[in-house]
Amino acid sequence: MDFDLTDEQQLIRETARDFTDKEIVERSRENARNHHFDLELVRKLAAQGYLGAIVPQEYGGAGLDYVSYGLIVEEIGRGDSAVRTVVSVQTSLVCSAILKWGTEEQKHHYLPKLCSGEWLGCFGLTEPESGSDAASLRTRATRTDSGWVLNGSKMWISMGNHAKVALIFAQTDPELAHRGLACFLVDTDQEGFQPQEIEHKMGLQASDTASIALEDVHVGEGDMLGEIGDGFKVAMSALDSGRYSVAAGCVGICAGCVDESVRYATEREQFGRPIASFQLIQSMIADMVLKADASRLLVWRAGFLKDKGRPNTLETSIAKLHATEAAQECANTAIQIHGGAGYVDDHPVERYFRDVRVTTLYEGTSQIQKLIIGRAKTGINAFVPA
């Protein structure tokens, strides 16, 4: 076993750390306060090669391995989960799906524009009546002479208001259940594609989240990703990458909580000494360090398996479950260490606390990750009670 990063991976990590500190951290508080989806920052992410890190260079990506991608996402996640969401959605949910399931023509058409940031993409799986039970989605795809027409609605779609291309999952034949599902590459520049911003979120204020009405949305004959019946597999394979990305981002939150808490605890004095000298404070810091390290190792294991091309759905779910729950606990603990000062946005821990809450919900809730882990270990599918 070798826990050392290569020289290249270390350089990638340091570069991502510098970029995060110089470009992201500076803007986070104002962007969150103003609910500002920062397109200028998106362009900077693209220029760094962070919107298609795992996409091969022949399609315009950076051609990096998954461990390197995880290192980048960890740093960006430490800076701002709203920005990390852009990277995760664009790279993992959209690019990885096109890379795995697309024809050569589709890959050459979409990937360079997505990697360069010229286009943003979104991933339209969830619907008002279909969340954890994704296969029950109701958006309907009907054949036409020239392709397909889509009708239905999507809910909670990150970047839905800004995307130029949307991966829309739809049912081609309700009688076929999940075998009728298909994934379509939808041009959002048409009247029937109607996104609407979801307001009043608890966190991720600087992230764009949309509900989308689909009214007679046209899709060309060649704009299906995979075949009819592949829809569910396309979604699950994209989520294998997306969950890894969320987990890596949460390692960043854990690490950020440690950094901020150590900084604050060594500066803040009570009872005539720095609060860092109190054992109860050190106990909280030790708990966070433990959670950060354990989460990072689980992410690295999942990344290692991805890079080897070995099965990793189980290990990715374990990393996602552990890192997201750990990041929530760290954010809570970090506020405790900051006392009243942690309750306002002068310190990043306040934003960590609000932003982290969604990570145990999206890309499969913690309960869904446990069902995946339980199924893998017992061989029994407990998604639906017997």
Ligand X SMILES: Cc1cc2nc3c(=O)[nH]c(=O)nc-3n(C[C@H](O)[C@H](O)[C@H](O)COP(=O)(O)OP(=O)(O)OC[C@H]3O[C@@H](n4cnc5c(N)ncnc54)[C@H](O)[C@@H]3O)c2cc1C
Which residues are near ligand X by CB under 6 A? 89, 122-126, 131-132, 156-158, 204, 209, 358, 361-363, 365, 367-368, 371, 383
Task: State how far the Cα of 71 lies from the Cα of 73, in Å rounded to an integer.
Answer: 5
Task: State how far the Cα of 158 lies from the Cα of 122, in Å rounded to an integer.
Answer: 6
CA dihedral for 147, 153, 159, 161, sign (positive or negative): positive
Side-chain-side CA neighbours of residue 297 (13 Å): 8
Using DSSP, state whether 219 is helix, strand or coil.
Answer: strand
Residue 282 contacts residue 290 (beta carbons within 8 Å): no
Residue 112 contacts residue 121 (beta carbons within 8 Å): no
Of 168 and 326, the one with the shorter C-beta distance to ligand X is 168
Element (H, E) at 86: helix 81-87
Of 52 and 131, the one with the shorter C-beta distance to ligand X is 131
Of 18 and 133, the one with the shorter C-beta distance to ligand X is 133
Task: State how far the Cα of 290 lies from the Cα of 247, in Å rounded to an integer.
Answer: 16
Of 168 and 305, the one with the shorter C-beta distance to ligand X is 168
User: 59-76 burial by CB neighbour count: b if 16+ within 10 A, else e?
Assistant: bbbbebbbbbbbbbbbbb
- Which residue stretches of 268-365 are H helix? 279-308, 313-338, 348-356
Residue 361 C-beta: closest distance to ligand X, Å: 5
Residue 71 contacts residue 5 (beta carbons within 8 Å): yes
Task: State how far the Cα of 134 lies from the Cα of 235, in Å rounded to an integer.
Answer: 9
Residue 160 C-beta: closest distance to ligand X, Å: 7
What is residue 127's DSSP assignment? B
Of 126 and 312, the one with the shorter C-beta distance to ligand X is 126
Q: Residue type at 90?
A: Q
Of 278 and 383, the one with the shorter C-beta distance to ligand X is 383
Residue 330 C-beta: closest distance to ligand X, Å: 20
Residue 122 C-beta: closest distance to ligand X, Å: 6
Of 229 and 374, the one with the shorter C-beta distance to ligand X is 374
Closest-CB residue for ligand X?
A: 131
Show the beta-strand stretches assigned E in 113-257.
121-124, 140-143, 147-158, 165-171, 181-187, 193-197, 209-220, 224-225
Out of 74, 260, 325, 363, the active site residue is 363
137: left (phi over 0), alpha (psi -120 to 50) or beta: beta
Residue 241 C-beta: closest distance to ligand X, Å: 13
Of 117, 15, 9, which is closest to residue 75 (Cα–Cα)? 15
Pairing of strands 165-171, 121-124: parallel
Residue 244 C-beta: closest distance to ligand X, Å: 15
Query: Does the annotation count 363 as an active-site position?
Result: yes
- Enumerate the active-site residues: 363
